[in-house]
Amino acid sequence: MGLTVDNLHVVLGKRAVLGGVTASFVPGRVTAVLGANGAGKSTLLRACAALLPASGGQVMLDGRDAATMPARERAQAIGYLPQDAAVHWNMTVRDLVRLGRLPHGDDGVEAIAAALAATDTAALADRPVRSLSGGERARVLLARVLAGEPRWLLADEPLASLDPLHQLETLALLRAAAGRGTGVVLVLHDLTLAARVADDVLLLKDGAVLAGGPAAAVLTEANLAAAYGVRVAILPHAAGPVIVPQGRA
């Protein structure tokens, strides 16, 4: 059971972006997918949501092949928050969050109210999206995914373009979702935030898994040097380890 990736190969254009990734994500836990630019993090996330065809291997959702299951069923199970947070029409926050119910084909009044409450956006419900600040907008887009009550929440850099306070609040939201049993998979760039939020870490390099497992075991100086090519110092702190890049490894 769960969301597992088995020897996954993905080719984009003529480039092999993922070359045999095997990983498994656990419900109720937050997994951070880390790696240098171009390591295949976003591609892995998109492939998990069946947005990209695998050229080899497969993604299994609760024991079934995610690529061949009915799109609607897959959409009910997996909520995907893309990195490009475009909202092309200036609709109201409520209409936007309601889109999360499309896979269920119902009004989902309670789920929408819960998503608005969880993201602290209920007061914004009747505002047009373009009148929101960047932080408010990110929370509303997250509410859209939560409104679908997915069992898996895949988010591609949900913290990009957020200020520190909103980063912490968003992380708290994602942690809370995991606390309710949702499997959360995040692509992150900030190593310190990853160390703080993630239960598990999947470290990618050149389209393959360099290391995977509990965060503390994976986020070592040696692994990070191998993945990013930087020397890092890992400093203990009450809120979680602080990872400071120091120079070329």
Residues that bind another protein in the complex, under the rule CB under 8 A: 46, 49, 51, 71-72, 74-76, 78-82, 84, 86-92, 95-96, 99-100, 102-103, 128, 141, 144, 148
Question: What is the smallest separation between the CB atom of 71 and another protein, expressed in angstroms?
Answer: 4
Residue 221 tokens read as 């100086």
The residue among 128 and 135 lying less far from another protein, judged by its C-beta, is 128
Question: What is the smallest separation between the CB atom of 208 and another protein, expressed in angstroms?
Answer: 24
Q: In whole angstroms, what is the distance from residue 50 CA to residue 46 CA? A: 6
The dihedral through the CA atoms of 86, 33, 166, 147 has a sign that is positive
Question: What is the smallest separation between the CB atom of 131 and another protein, expressed in angstroms?
Answer: 12
The residue among 153 and 178 lying less far from another protein, judged by its C-beta, is 153
The residue among 129 and 191 lying less far from another protein, judged by its C-beta, is 129
Question: What is the smallest separation between the CB atom of 102 and another protein, expressed in angstroms?
Answer: 5
Q: In whole angstroms, what is the distance from residue 203 CA to residue 226 CA? A: 10
The residue among 87 and 226 lying less far from another protein, judged by its C-beta, is 87
Residue 128 φ then ψ, to 5°: -70, 145
Are residues 242 and 235 in contact, defined by beta-carbon separation less than 8 angstroms? Answer: yes
Angle at 214 (CA atoms; ends 23, 248), nearest 5 degrees: 90
